[in-house]
């Protein structure tokens, strides 16, 4: 049945984006998904909000849950200072295979470690496997029913410290009600909603930024 949607997106990047130029990779994906076929990238409405939070935090260690094709991986990694690291976790091997190639096309493979597997299984292994004591920034963009259990796991594994910033995609569409209720009512977080739009559409969506208070 031919190429998958992620593979078609990869082809568009290889055809239209300049190797080693992250901005051209971002633009090629946004053009393809806006004009050819929709895909679940954070996109060019929410993307600048992601950029501003990453730039403000300037993380030495960052974690992304849900790589998909690597669009937000490229958005985050292009803003990291030299020596900073982004770990991105993807459950679906076919998605991971495309993401590796898109991240490489952007020339960001040295800043990114893509780990294949379930976030619930991998989070407890991060300290020993990567020698990371805590994350300055976490982008949640995977399955919505994993957001809450995964931040509780990050807390329990001691991977968050005072000032760690969580940014969650899709808190309106598809929606993460349990997660929102938790971060907005827990004394351990200071939470803020950034209203925007579901990628490449006019539907409402937004990002929730939550600072861990320790």
Ligand X SMILES: Oc1cc(-c2ccc(F)cc2)cc2nccnc12
Q: Which of residues 163-202 bind ligand X (CB under 6 A)?
A: 169-170, 173-174, 198-199
Q: Does 169 bind Mg ion (CB under 5 A)?
A: yes
- Stretches 50-58, 106-114, 161-169, 176-184: which one binds Mg ion (CB under 5 A)? 161-169
Q: Write down the catalytic residue from 44, 199, 205, 208.
A: 199
Q: How far apart are CA 207 and CA 73, in angstroms?
A: 16
Which DSSP letter does residue 199 get? Answer: T
Q: Are residues 75 and 26 in contact, defined by beta-carbon separation less than 8 angstroms?
A: yes
Two tokens, residue 191? 């939470």
Tell me which of 64, 136, 141, 205 binds Mg ion, using CB under 5 A: 141
199 has catalytic annotation: yes
**Exposed e or buried b per residue across 178-205, where buried means at least 16 C-beta atoms within 10 angstroms of its C-beta:** ebbebbeeeeebebeeeebbbbbeeeeb
The answer to whether 48 contacts ligand X (rule: CB under 6 A) is no
Per the annotation, the verdict on 144 as an active-site residue is yes
CA 45, distance to chain mean position in Å, is 15
178 belongs to the catalytic site? no
| Binds 20: which of Mg ion, ligand X, none (CB < 5-8 Å by kind) | none
Q: Among this protein's residues, is 116 annotated catalytic?
A: no
Question: Residue 174 binds which one of ligand X, Mg ion, none, with CB within 5 to 8 A depending on kind?
Answer: ligand X
Distance of alpha carbon 84 from alpha carbon 103, whole angstroms: 16
Of 141, 150, 205, 208, the active-site residue reads 141
**Which of 85, 144, 150, 209 does the annotation list as catalytic?**
144
Q: How does DSSP classify residue 202?
A: S
Q: 38 or 130, CB closer to Mg ion?
A: 38
Residue nearest to Mg ion (CB): 169
Smallest Cα–Cα separation from 117: which of 145, 91, 93? 91
Which of 6, 22, 47, 66 is the binder for ligand X (CB under 6 A)? Answer: 66
Catalytic residue among 169, 205, 208, 209: 169
Under the binding rule (CB under 5 A), the answer on residue 73 touching Mg ion is no
Residue 83, Ramachandran bin (φ over 0: left; ψ between -120 and 50: alpha; else beta): left
| Residue of 158, 127, 147 lying closest to 191 (CA atoms) | 147
Q: How far is the CB of 144 from ligand X (least distance, A)?
A: 7
**If residue 74 lies in a helix (H) or strand (E), which one and from where to where?**
helix 71-77
Is residue 208 near ligand X by the rule CB under 6 A? no
Which positions touch ligand X (CB under 6 A)? 40, 66, 141-142, 169-170, 173-174, 198-199
Residues labelled catalytic: 141, 144, 169-170, 199
């Amino acid at each position: 049945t031919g190429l998958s949607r992620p593979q078609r997106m990869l082809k568009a990047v290889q055809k239209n984006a300049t190797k080693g130029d992250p901005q051209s990779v971002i633009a090629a994906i946004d053009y393809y998904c806006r004009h050819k076929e929709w895909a679940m990238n954070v996109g060019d409405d929410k993307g600048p909000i992601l950029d501003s939070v990453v730039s403000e935090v300037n993380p030495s260690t960052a974690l992304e849950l849900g790589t998909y094709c690597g669009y937000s991986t490229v958005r985050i990694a292009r803003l990291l200072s030299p020596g900073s690291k982004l770990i991105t976790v993807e459950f679906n091997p076919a998605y991971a295979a495309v993401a590796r190639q898109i991240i490489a096309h952007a020339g960001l493979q040295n800043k990114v470690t893509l780990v294949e597997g379930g976030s619930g299984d991998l989070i407890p292994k991060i300290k020993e496997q990567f020698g990371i004591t805590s994350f300055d920034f976490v982008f949640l963009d995977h399955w919505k029913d994993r957001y809450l259990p995964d931040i509780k796991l990050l807390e329990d594994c001691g991977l968050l410290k005072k000032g760690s910033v969580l940014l969650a995609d899709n808190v309106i569409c598809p929606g993460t009600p349990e997660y929102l209720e938790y971060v907005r009512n827990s004394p351990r977080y200071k939470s803020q909603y950034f209203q925007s739009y579901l990628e490449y559409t006019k539907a409402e969506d937004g990002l929730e930024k939550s600072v861990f208070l320790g």
